[in-house]
Chains A and B, each alone.
Chain A
Amino acid sequence: MGKSSKDKRDVYYRLAKEQGWRARSAFKLLQVNEEFNIFKGVTRAVDLCAAPGSWSQVLSRELGKDSGEDTKIVAVDLQAMAPLPGVIQIQGDITKLSTAEQIVSHFDGAKADLVVSDGAPDVTGLHDLDEYIQAQLILAALNITTHVLRPGGSFVAKIFRGKDVTLLYAQLKTFFRTVHVAKPRSSRNSSIEAFIVCLDYNPPVDYVPNMANPLMDVPYDVNNPIVGSNRAIVPFVACGDLRGFDADMTYPLDIDNAEPYQPRDPNQSPISPPYKKALELKRSNFYNNII
């Protein structure tokens, strides 16, 4: 497969390379903001599960762009990430209280206006398991968010709209006054991925943030039954301009007539994959010499 064939099939992949984003997911956050204005007035933002850094990149380019206010962006990930101007990096675990404390210390004790998370687990292909682990990742992100987000603040995270997604909707509704599920136009129609956009943080009155125990997901109940018309479904909002590019569409390579098409390398090669050693073995012909 040539360099250009992925460009042809995936217009946002090509645009990301052309516009200098580390990953095509940058467009997803930009389009969520177009719809919900989540960046408005934000001076302190946290990017959880930040690597490879495209959402931090978006935050650093967009926050304070209009108001000219000083902004602080803290990016947290287990893995190290290539540095980004204007972004403070913490290499740490989001389930640790110390990480929460570190974040708040960078804001001089103040709390964040916005927390975002584009994290996704290793997807196995067993959809029920993948959806559960993704939900646990969101709940871990929510747990640390309850330590660092100011009341009224916003939370955006990637979700999988699978069979038990209403459990997550029900839980998030107890912490935020407004919860939407958003699908940016740069996310493919066939993809199970969507984004939960939670506005106006308002935890239950008796809620005490506690990092010692994980935040567990809720069971199905009368307010959110497994089947029926009372399921906890949140409003869907498609984000991004319809006149923009269509993620599912096959485009010719010359979409912009002013500038002829040039294949480009990705801006950020993927962080070292878990199967790095297996790749090296493949390159040295190991797999061709075994049964």
Chain B
Amino acid sequence: MSEQHRYSIQSKTSVLPVTALEFLTDSILLASNGGALRVYNTTTQKCLVQKTIFRYNRIHGIQAQRGTHKVLVFGSKQWAVLNISDFESIEIEHTHSANDWIKAGHWVQDYVALALAHNQVAIMDMVGEVKMVAQSEPCILYSAMFYGATLDSLVVAAGTVFNQVIVWRPIDSTILYRLKGHTGVVFGIRFSSDGQTVSSVSDDRTVRLWRLPGTESETLFGHRARVWVCLILNAVLVSASEDGTLRVWDRDGAALDVWTQCKKNVWALAANPSQTWVASGGGDGSVWLWNTNKVKGRIERPELGMVTLPAEHHVGDFTRAFALKWDEELVTTDSGHLLRHSRDSKWSDMCVLDAIKGYSAIATSLAGDLVAVGMRDGQAMILTPNAPQMIARIHKTTVRHLTISEGPQFDLVTVDANNQIVWSRITGAEWQLMAVLELPSKAKFASVAIDHKLRWAAVGSVRGSLYLFDTLGVSPQPTDRLASVSILQPTLAWFKLHSKHSLSTILFTQETLVSASAGYSRDCAILTGGRDGLMHTLSLRLRGTAYLSVADSVSSKLQSDLSYRVVLEKTSTDKVTEGWVERLFRHNGALLAVTFFRKRLVLLDLSTRSAVLSVACAGGAKQWQVLMAREGIRIGFIRKAQLAVFEFAGGLANNSSVRLAAGISSLDIRSIAVGPVVAVGGDDGYLRTYCRELELIAESRCNVIRCIEFLHTNDEYLVSGGCGLQCWRIDPLVEWAQAPGASDSRVMAVSVLHNDYVAAAYSNSMIRLWHIDIERREFAQVAEAIGTHCFLSLKTIEPSFLVSGATNGQICFWRVGVSRQHLQSALTLDAHQSGVNCLDVMKTDHGWFVASGGDDNSVTVWEIISETLEHRLVVRHLNAHASSVQRVFFVHGNLCSMATDQRIAIWAINNSELELLHMSFTQVADPSTMVISSNMAIVGGIGVEVLYINKSITK
């Protein structure tokens, strides 16, 4: 070849596990991202600068020198001294290598102390000269930490593979303490600021606190998996774990709070100098800030009060129902009294009603400003602060349920013993009937939500179904005219949305309201929660007359034209709890869920995925109330016929946490595909879509994903395989269709053919060809064939071949019948000693070049003549990589390969040999996928990295 391609590969962006953090000031945070360092302003939440410090290693530790701008950074065997004076640039002053893995680094006088993996301490000067080396007991360390400001006083605590912490003094190699107790290796060590307390964390899932000079420890259980580090702050301890959470403890080790960051691994922690914020680095690449002033120390010890009826009611009477406000409680008793109980424990009788004797039910608005009482005889009573009480008979029989849906006005839904559902509205002192919502005869009411603005109502049933009602055209009637109220039938039903579990709560949300001049789109999202512990997000869209004019939405003149089609689609599903989801609501912008699990009520903040509070409610799941008042949160239950109240003064903390950087996935990413969006899937069981800058567009829960490919003819759809085979529409992200059967075997690879055909290769050595009917949302199998081993890779050669790779090292060609009804083995090539992980195909004048990458480190290129299937091995490079080759691509007639050794190589295919043109390194550990789209490459594994492949031509 006369012209030579020259390549360079540059990292553009990446999301990698955050393994080191350090605050420079109260609001300047340093965070690692692979071998790069980022500077964040935590006040503005902006990343100020990023710089690569180590090209081939990950940063494992950062230590700022107090009072200067110097920062020590280390990782693997490398260390560097940086100057970060203006926070907007990073200057690398020195980079050095040690002869062993650096476990800890520390500034001592003008030197840097390094703790090395074989229990050595090296004291280095800035130019990398060794001033002193000290050795303690030889053994391998998993962790180490220094304490002390001078060489003479310097101590190091070393966490050994033998489950001990050895605290020793480098100046004379004296062992000061041997801290024994852990039953697993020690992963992390921290000192308190006075050096008197040491925390150690371990494989045994405990945090241990050692108060020197003693060698006895307190043992803190709580994390569900291994613990990586535990900070000792002045007021609290904060530990981070493999279970994806941070736990907060008081200095005596009592549990105070738990903060959930990601699905797996919180690797790094740092506190700012004033200890107001703790930063945490996740296995998913996220960085969070947690406000230490908002630790819910009361979480396990709320003030509990029992509201005991006054003496005159003691004999034979008991509490039937209640309403909590911040300053008082209303209670109905079995004898028919409605009582008021004030904060200073004074009782007053509000009324006695025959209709609440022996039975009553109460609903209260979230903030406590509207109380509705349901009675035995079908009457309901409304109590509001600024109006006299109102009573109306709106049912013919006992009122069983009352639900209040909030807005500028209150929508009250009452359900009677005959399952009749009546919707009424309270605006100030006016109470009007709106409609009767009619369910099919067998459906039993469980929950309701009204969207007053977009004119929707939704009802959930005890068998898990959802019924949607269009409320346009409803005209309000006085409360005594039930007969003239409109009776609405469901517009749409979604049966068994929560399997057969009760659909216990519904919430309408409008994320994007179309501007007022264009009128309102009635499109919205519906969240449903059920006793299966799941929360579904549904998107509701109208086809046809889609807009409601502004005038219509304000006045009560209503459009009667209902000639549209409602499209309801599930866009995501989240497992919120192992128990029941009983209520979803919004409060100060946060999405909250009331859940019940193992006799506890847990209030979850779904925005931060953390528990806000948790109380033991015993059997109180039947009658409960959560009051979100300005002053705080109150939770009430009926317990043994008495009202029990928990109170949390202060309420929900604002800004209790901030997400500084978004993560991607804490488990392995297995497949990436580029279409109109970047689709990413892997072991964590989510399909996510991103724009090319890796900003998340949408995510949806599914099963483990191993492979993704966009459809050719219609790239608004993609297929994913792994645990099952699915088709998805990407905007909005919706699971569109699912292939039937084959639950035992995994889909190892997919490849798309023209006209919505897709081939899938399975772990049980089957290849199946499917057709996806996009309109009918169905997969139909059209052909299948069987191989001998587990398949690993699959490619299409249009129009008539599939090429597969399997664990036996063979590449197989399968002829696809003209009508796509047959698959027949046509050619087998012995390409590798073990698994053929990847394939690529390039068209030639007479056929194709096929490239493969194997588990055996090698890469092969074959030439095949399409007419005759004559073939020859063009080249086989046995030692292309030092480990399993994961992806191969033809790029500009050259070959690109990527392997588990984290190298990306570009080879020229020259007369039966591969000539290395360029080799580059990726910071993604265990890379298992890569995709190339023009000059962009995205690598996925533990994290993702976007690279640019630049080519220049020299003659």
List the A side residues contacting B182 at CB < 8 Å.
274
Interface on chain A toward B: helix, strand, loop, or mixed SS?
loop
- Tell me the bound Cα distance from A287 to B600 in angstroms: 13
- Contact of A165 with B883 in the complex, beta carbons under 8 Å: yes
- Contact of A162 with B900 in the complex, beta carbons under 8 Å: yes
In the complex, residue of chain B having the shortest beta-carbon distance to the beta carbon of A161: B883
- Contact of B790 with A249 in the complex, beta carbons under 8 Å: yes
For A124-156 the 0/1 string (1 means CB < 8 A from B) is 111111001100110010000000000000000
- Contact of B900 with A250 in the complex, beta carbons under 8 Å: no
- Contact of B834 with A250 in the complex, beta carbons under 8 Å: no
A291 at the interface (CB under 8 A from B): yes
Are A251 and B857 CB-contacts (below 8 A) given A125-B265, A136-B117, A162-B900? no
For A206-225 the 0/1 string (1 means CB < 8 A from B) is 00000001101001000000
- Tell me the bound Cα distance from A251 to B807 in angstroms: 14
- Tell me the bound Cα distance from A287 to B245 in angstroms: 14
- Contact of A246 with B808 in the complex, beta carbons under 8 Å: yes
Interface residue from B101, B744, B855 paired with A183 (Cβ < 8 Å): B855
- Contact of A286 with B856 in the complex, beta carbons under 8 Å: no
List the B side residues contacting A95 at CB < 8 Å.
138-139
- Contact of B203 with A275 in the complex, beta carbons under 8 Å: yes
In the complex, residue of chain A having the shortest beta-carbon distance to the beta carbon of B163: A274
- Contact of B224 with A287 in the complex, beta carbons under 8 Å: yes
B57 at the interface (CB under 8 A from A): yes
- Contact of B916 with A229 in the complex, beta carbons under 8 Å: yes
Q: Which of B193-201, B362-370, B420-428, B917-925 lies at the interface?
A: B917-925
The size class of the interface chain A forms with chain B is 35 or more
B860 at the interface (CB under 8 A from A): no
- Tell me the bound Cα distance from A124 to B224 in angstroms: 15
- Contact of B184 with A275 in the complex, beta carbons under 8 Å: yes
In the complex, residue of chain B having the shortest beta-carbon distance to the beta carbon of A232: B882
Interface residue from B614, B745, B764, B792 paired with A291 (Cβ < 8 Å): B614
A82 at the interface (CB under 8 A from B): no
A185 at the interface (CB under 8 A from B): yes
- Tell me the bound Cα distance from A288 to B101 in angstroms: 39
Are A278 and B221 CB-contacts (below 8 A) given A126-B267, A161-B900? yes
In the complex, residue of chain B having the shortest beta-carbon distance to the beta carbon of A137: B140
Instruction: Determine which residue in B183, B878, B883 has the highest number of CB atoms from chain A within 10 A of its CB, and name it.
Output: B883
- Tell me the bound Cα distance from A169 to B902 in angstroms: 17
B19 at the interface (CB under 8 A from A): yes
Interface on chain B toward A: helix, strand, loop, or mixed SS?
loop
- Tell me the bound Cα distance from A189 to B76 in angstroms: 28
- Contact of B837 with A189 in the complex, beta carbons under 8 Å: yes
List the A side residues contacting B138 at CB < 8 Å.
95, 213-214
Interface residue from B763, B919, B925 paired with A127 (Cβ < 8 Å): B925
Interface residue from A132, A166, A250 paired with B790 (Cβ < 8 Å): A250
- Contact of A249 with B837 in the complex, beta carbons under 8 Å: no
- Tell me the bound Cα distance from A286 to B185 in angstroms: 23
- Contact of A226 with B221 in the complex, beta carbons under 8 Å: no
- Contact of B807 with A248 in the complex, beta carbons under 8 Å: yes
List the A side residues contacting B884 at CB < 8 Å.
161, 189, 192
In the complex, residue of chain B having the shortest beta-carbon distance to the beta carbon of A251: B764
- Tell me the bound Cα distance from A117 to B416 in angstroms: 73
In the complex, residue of chain A having the shortest beta-carbon distance to the beta carbon of B836: A189
List the B side residues contacting A127 at CB < 8 Å.
925-926, 942
For A250-291 the 0/1 string (1 means CB < 8 A from B) is 110000000000000000000000111110010000111111
In the complex, residue of chain A having the shortest beta-carbon distance to the beta carbon of B810: A242
Are A189 and B792 CB-contacts (below 8 A) given A124-B187, A162-B883, A291-B257? yes
List the B side residues contacting A287 at CB < 8 Å.
222, 224
List the B side residues contacting A289 at CB < 8 Å.
598
- Tell me the bound Cα distance from A235 to B858 in angstroms: 10
- Tell me the bound Cα distance from A275 to B138 in angstroms: 26
- Tell me the bound Cα distance from A67 to B280 in angstroms: 61
- Tell me the bound Cα distance from A214 to B19 in angstroms: 27
A6 at the interface (CB under 8 A from B): no
Q: From residue 744 to 769 of chain B, which have CB atoms closer than 8 A to chain A?
A: 744-746, 762-765
For B554-586 the 0/1 string (1 means CB < 8 A from A) is 000000000000000000000000000000000
In the complex, residue of chain A having the shortest beta-carbon distance to the beta carbon of B881: A233
- Contact of B611 with A248 in the complex, beta carbons under 8 Å: no
List the A side residues contacting B916 at CB < 8 Å.
228-229
CB distance from B359 to the nearest CB of A (A): 35
- Tell me the bound Cα distance from A162 to B899 in angstroms: 9
List the B side residues contacting A66 at CB < 8 Å.
none
Interface residue from B17, B744, B765 paired with A126 (Cβ < 8 Å): B17
Are A166 and B882 CB-contacts (below 8 A) given A125-B242, A125-B265? yes
For B351-372 the 0/1 string (1 means CB < 8 A from A) is 0000000000000000000000
A8 at the interface (CB under 8 A from B): yes
For A226-243 the 0/1 string (1 means CB < 8 A from B) is 111101010111100010
- Contact of B100 with A216 in the complex, beta carbons under 8 Å: yes
Are A227 and B764 CB-contacts (below 8 A) given A161-B882, A242-B808? no
Instruction: Determine which residue in A165, A166, A231, A248 has the highest number of CB atoms from chain B within 10 A of its CB, and name it.
Output: A248
CB distance from B662 to the nearest CB of A (A): 20
- Tell me the bound Cα distance from A226 to B809 in angstroms: 28
List the B side residues contacting A86 at CB < 8 Å.
none
List the A side residues contacting B611 at CB < 8 Å.
291
Interface residues of A (CB under 8 A from B): 8, 78, 95, 121-122, 124-129, 132-133, 136-137, 140, 161-163, 165-166, 169, 181, 183, 185, 189-190, 192, 194, 213-214, 216, 219, 226-229, 231, 233, 235-238, 242, 246-251, 274-278, 281, 286-291
A-B contact pairs, 8 of them (CB 8 A): A128-B925, A214-B138, A216-B99, A228-B916, A236-B857, A250-B762, A274-B203, A287-B224
Q: A95-B139, A214-B138 are in contact. List 14 more A-B contacts (CB 8 A).
A: A122-B142, A189-B855, A190-B928, A236-B879, A238-B855, A246-B807, A249-B789, A249-B790, A250-B744, A274-B184, A275-B203, A277-B183, A288-B598, A291-B258
User: Can you list the 3 inter-chain pairs with the closest CB atoms, starting with the nearest?
Assistant: A274-B184, A161-B883, A238-B833
